[in-house]
Amino acid sequence: MKSYLAAAIQMTSKPNLEKNLVEAEELIELAVRKGAELVSLPENFAFLGKEVDKVAQAKEIAVKTEQFLKKMAQRFQITILGGGFPVPVADNPTKAYNTAILVTPDGQEVAHYQKVHLFDVDVPDGNTYQESSTVMAGKEIPPIYNSERLGKLGLSICYDVRFPEFYRYLSGKGADVLFIPAAFTAYTGKDHWQVLLQARAIENTCYVIAPAQTGNHYERRYTHGHAMIIDPWGVILADAGSTPGVAVAEINPHRLQQVRQQMPSLQHRVFV
């Protein structure tokens, strides 16, 4: 593993698959022009609309999104994370898996994760989210993808960030970099997003790459933004702010080693 640049993309996705993919391609190209070799897209990057519409279009979204990710990886010769899109459940037409995939420059899917923690929450701003009404929970934590060039990569999606045991498992399996793509609500994000990302980075001495949604998507659906890349000490290396764009920062194995030597907490665990 050598130093390289990673990108966390920030979008304001809408209930329009084709327009979202066009915007995603523009932002991927921007990230590549900035030198990124590892590019990540947020949760719901291909479609962010009403749950009933998402399920109705899940098959089309899944097929076109997978094709898109493989095309982008090959065209730009990058490794790319599609941070969460619906994939139909074969035996249940009313639900889909919230799925993240990692694709290498040869167009091969090398890691696959179905979101296990579903966001069923009454937020104090008056909005109610019931992800389980249309999403089937996954049952497995994904294996670590070990890239000689990019390090050991661990996948997660949004609400997972509130479950530290999930990331402890990933770091215990050797993860150097943790992906946390999200569509974090505007209300909770202002208080919790940054501190949760920093906590996951610090406690696991890992880099965190967190692409995000931002702004108004439809009706009362607002997200927080602030796609970030954070180093193993908890330092924010890049922050995309509150508008669509790209956060780019260096992933440095020497910094990773330095922090783990200075703060060897992973070696000091008593309860594993």
Rounded CA-CA distance 236/240 in Å is 11
Instruction: Please identify which of the residues 23, 70, 158, 206 carries the catalytic annotation.
Output: 158
**β strands within the chain, DSSP E:** 4-11, 38-41, 79-89, 92-103, 109-114, 120-122, 128-130, 145-147, 151-154, 177-179, 207-210, 212-218, 221-224, 228-230, 236-239, 245-251
Give yes or no: 70 in active site: no
Q: Is 43 a catalytic residue?
A: yes
Q: Which two tokens stand for residue 203?
A: 């406690």
Catalytic residue among 23, 37, 43, 66: 43
For residues 5 and 34, the answer to whether their CB atoms sit within 8 Å is yes
Question: Catalytic one among 23, 54, 115, 206?
Answer: 115
Backbone conformation region of residue 151, classed left if phi is above 0, alpha if psi is from -120 to 50, else beta: left
Active-site residue flag, 95: no
Residues belonging to the active site: 43, 115, 158
